[in-house]
Amino acid sequence: MRYPILAAALLAAPFASASAQQDPGLDVSEERLRADVEAMVGFYTRHTLSSQTDPERGIGAALEWGIGEFREASAACGDCLETRFIETEVSGRRIPEPVRLRNAIAIQWGTERPNEVVIIQGHIDSRGSDVLDAEVEAPGANDNASGSALTIEAARVLSQHIYPTTIIYALLSGEEQGLYGGNLLADYVTEQGWTVKAVLNNDVVGGSCGSDGVCDAENVRVFSEGVRADADAATRARMRSMGGANDSPSRNLSRWLDTLAAQYEDGLDVRQTWRSDRMGRGGDHLPFLDRGYPAIRFSVAIEDYEHQHQDLRVENGVIYGDTIAEMDFPYLARVTQFNVRAADRLARAPMPPRVTANGIVRPDVLLEWQPVDGAAGYTVWRRRTDERDWNQRLTVADAGDGAEISVTLAPDRGDDWIFGVSSVSADGSESPVSSAVPGGEFYPLPQGDDSQ
Ligand SMILES: [Zn+2]
């Protein structure tokens, strides 16, 4: 379908609001989250090298408990979840002897496009001061029983609804030893051939104050990468020429989350943090980024360094250790609520399109993209190259007749703008914006393409 030349008329709404739907975020239970964190802390340690077989202590018991919670959620929705362990054997710098590594996952299949997946995940393993010490008590309350409880609660709440696309809930292990569980799941997803719309990685999401007394219970940080990890030399060269260092799918997922958060008066605000993770540190969203999948990390606004990765002790009057006493459960409930709202919307929305923009030595700009499954229409966005947000909504294109869609914006002097397009479902759920720059697509990039 070829659209006529359109003047760049600005439309008012900054974000297509979904049709009136019930808000599953309101079903999140702070009490259940607290009970789940208490249960996980009760395993004494969840270190990846701890016992796999002890029924009461160690990583094995914690994973069995976790998949049991998924099974209970499934029983409550008429067996709507497929639950399973995925496993491998790993060794490495922080795993001196080969060890069995398992993730517990629950799959809520989509009814229309089951191959499209949104992943909500948290790592369930814990550690003390010495990353190799599998014996010491390691409650890992905030890091990361909080993100694991969030994942389980999201499964309970969202499994009461039916979605056109698939949601995967994952409890990962081996994070503290080197992101092994994240790598295992990212490989698994690749082997299945699934299309990953978004990975919401939750790691340290249940506290609001630092040890220095600085508190913030109103924001949650969203970490996103700029230059995408899977861009090869040819793509990076095109990014330097055309723009694209600030328009990865991860970055646009971050913008989308920020815009979504602003729609809820009772919710947290998003603090977009434009780096892959905290300085010099990592998390289980990184293995997905490495493979070209859109992924972000949720984490608390204020990190508490004396109550993570620390053996329980008192030193010079300072209490160390990652205990429940240091957590903020109302805050955890709000982060959970936001994950639920985001996954609900993402699971309804189509994939963002792959868009190209041509404005080379011409006054108008030609945007082109292929139709997307499940899209009832598309929204064209732009922003100045130095602006943070998609603040100008230009035009709305309908679903078309199945042929390539092209929109000419004139006169628009493309050099001064970044353009993008979102997909919109029939119920009004809008995808993140896919930027019309090299590496903007929400799909893994081809590798080794040095021809351009
Ligand atoms: Zn962690």
For 339-360, letters b (16+ CB in 10 Å) and e give: bbbbbbbbbbbbbbbbbebebe
| DSSP, res 132 | T
Separation of CA 253 from chain center: 8
What element of type H or E holds 314? strand 313-315
Domain that holds residue 385: 1-16+350-424+430-452
Angle between helices 329-348 and 146-158 (to 10 degrees): 50
Task: Report how many helices (DSSP H) and strands (DSSP E) the chain contains, helices first.
Answer: 9, 17
Q: Smallest Cα–Cα separation from 296: which of 307, 309, 314, 284?
A: 284
Q: Using CA atoms, how far apart are residues 426 and 399, in angstroms rounded to an integer?
A: 10
Task: Give the mean model confidence (pLDDT) for residues 361-387.
Answer: 95
Q: How far is the CA of 284 from the centre of ligand 1 (A)?
A: 8
Q: How far is the CA of 283 from the centre of ligand 1 (A)?
A: 7
Ramachandran bin of 429, using left for φ above 0, alpha for ψ from -120 to 50, beta for the remaining angles: beta
Q: How far is the CA of 263 from the centre of ligand 1 (A)?
A: 29
Q: Smallest Cα–Cα separation from 184: which of 114, 250, 101?
A: 101
**pLDDT band at 10, cuts 50/70/90?**
very low
Q: How far is the CA of 437 from the centre of ligand 1 (A)?
A: 33
Q: Got the DSSP string for 315-359? A: ETTEEES--GGG--HHHHHHHHHHHHHHHHHHHHSPPPPPEEEE-
Q: How far is the CA of 251 from the centre of ligand 1 (A)?
A: 21
The confidence score (pLDDT) of residue 6 equals: 45
Q: How far is the CA of 231 from the centre of ligand 1 (A)?
A: 27
Whether residue 360 has pLDDT greater than 90: no
Q: Using CA atoms, how far apart are residues 210 and 213, in angstroms rounded to an integer?
A: 5
What element of type H or E holds 249? helix 249-261
Tell whether the torsion through CA atoms of 338, 343, 348 and 353 is positive or negative: positive
Q: Using CA atoms, how far apart are residues 379 and 384, in angstroms rounded to an integer?
A: 17
Percent of the chain clearing pLDDT 90 (strictly above): 86
Shared domain for 73 and 10, answered yes or no, is: no
Domain stops at, among 295, 318, 348: 348
Q: How far is the CA of 145 from the centre of ligand 1 (A)?
A: 9
Q: How far is the CA of 68 from the centre of ligand 1 (A)?
A: 22
Q: Is 89 helix (H, G, I), strand (E, B) or coil?
A: strand
Q: How far is the CA of 408 from the centre of ligand 1 (A)?
A: 46
Q: Judging by DSSP bridges, how do beta strands 165-172 and 95-108 pair with one another?
A: antiparallel
Q: What is the mean pLDDT of the chain?
A: 93
Q: How far is the CA of 140 from the centre of ligand 1 (A)?
A: 8
Q: How far is the CA of 48 from the centre of ligand 1 (A)?
A: 13
The confidence score (pLDDT) of residue 22 equals: 87
Q: How far is the CA of 351 from the centre of ligand 1 (A)?
A: 29
The confidence score (pLDDT) of residue 449 equals: 56
Candidate from 110-119, 137-146, 390-399 with smallest mean pLDDT: 390-399
Domain stops at, among 348, 365, 383: 348
Shared domain for 184 and 49, answered yes or no, is: yes
- Whether the model clears a pTM of 0.85, i.e. scores above it, the answer is yes
**pLDDT band at 375, cuts 50/70/90?**
very high
Q: How far is the CA of 204 from the centre of ligand 1 (A)?
A: 6
Cβ(63)–Cβ(173) below 8 Å: yes
Q: How far is the CA of 87 from the centre of ligand 1 (A)?
A: 20
Q: How far is the CA of 31 from the centre of ligand 1 (A)?
A: 22
Shared domain for 227 and 282, answered yes or no, is: yes
Whether residue 5 has pLDDT greater than 70: no
Candidate from 170-179, 395-404, 438-447 with smallest mean pLDDT: 395-404
Cβ(200)–Cβ(343) below 8 Å: yes
Task: Give the mean model confidence (pLDDT) for residues 179-191.
Answer: 98
Cβ(354)–Cβ(441) below 8 Å: yes
Q: How far is the CA of 236 from the centre of ligand 1 (A)?
A: 31
Shared domain for 296 and 337, answered yes or no, is: yes
Longest dimension (CA), the chain: 73
Q: How far is the CA of 393 from the centre of ligand 1 (A)?
A: 38
Q: Smallest Cα–Cα separation from 287: which of 230, 249, 232?
A: 230
Q: Judging by DSSP bridges, how do beta strands 195-202 and 295-300 pair with one another?
A: parallel
Q: How far is the CA of 71 from the centre of ligand 1 (A)?
A: 25
**pLDDT band at 411, cuts 50/70/90?**
confident
Shared domain for 153 and 282, answered yes or no, is: yes
Q: How far is the CA of 123 from the centre of ligand 1 (A)?
A: 7
Q: How far is the CA of 113 from the centre of ligand 1 (A)?
A: 32
The confidence score (pLDDT) of residue 452 equals: 47
The confidence score (pLDDT) of residue 242 equals: 93
Per-chain residues with Cβ under 5 A from ion ligand 1? 143-144, 203
Domain stops at, among 314, 348, 382: 348
Q: How far is the CA of 171 from the centre of ligand 1 (A)?
A: 12
Q: How far is the CA of 126 from the centre of ligand 1 (A)?
A: 8
Whether residue 99 has pLDDT greater than 60: yes
Cβ(420)–Cβ(390) below 8 Å: yes
- CATH number of domain containing 292: 3.40.630.10
Tokens at 385, concatenated: 């190259």
Q: How far is the CA of 282 from the centre of ligand 1 (A)?
A: 8
The confidence score (pLDDT) of residue 2 equals: 52
DSSP E strand boundaries for 70-194:
81-92, 95-108, 113-123, 165-172
Shared domain for 403 and 277, answered yes or no, is: no
**pLDDT band at 419, cuts 50/70/90?**
very high
Provide the number of structural domains found in the chain. 2
Q: How far is the CA of 307 from the centre of ligand 1 (A)?
A: 12
Shared domain for 196 and 214, answered yes or no, is: yes
User: Looking at per-residue confidence, does 296 or 316 come out higher?
Assistant: 296
AA letter at 335: V
Cβ(181)–Cβ(172) below 8 Å: yes
Task: Give the mean model confidence (pLDDT) for residues 83-93.
Answer: 97
Shared domain for 415 and 340, answered yes or no, is: no
Whether residue 20 has pLDDT greater than 70: no
- CATH number of domain containing 437: 2.60.40.10
Shared domain for 260 and 384, answered yes or no, is: no
Q: How far is the CA of 127 from the centre of ligand 1 (A)?
A: 9
Tokens at 138, concatenated: 């390691």
Q: Using CA atoms, how far apart are residues 384 and 395, in angstroms rounded to an integer?
A: 17
Cis peptide before 438 (omega within 30 of 0): no
Whether residue 18 has pLDDT greater than 80: no
Q: Using CA atoms, how far apart are residues 448 and 325, in angstroms rounded to an integer?
A: 50
Q: How far is the CA of 221 from the centre of ligand 1 (A)?
A: 14
User: Within 13 Å and on the Cβ side, how many CA atoms surround 188?
Assistant: 21
Whether residue 293 has pLDDT greater than 60: yes
Shared domain for 324 and 359, answered yes or no, is: no
AA letter at 1: M
**pLDDT band at 12, cuts 50/70/90?**
very low
Shared domain for 335 and 379, answered yes or no, is: no
Shared domain for 144 and 185, answered yes or no, is: yes
**pLDDT band at 16, cuts 50/70/90?**
very low
Q: How far is the CA of 265 from the centre of ligand 1 (A)?
A: 29
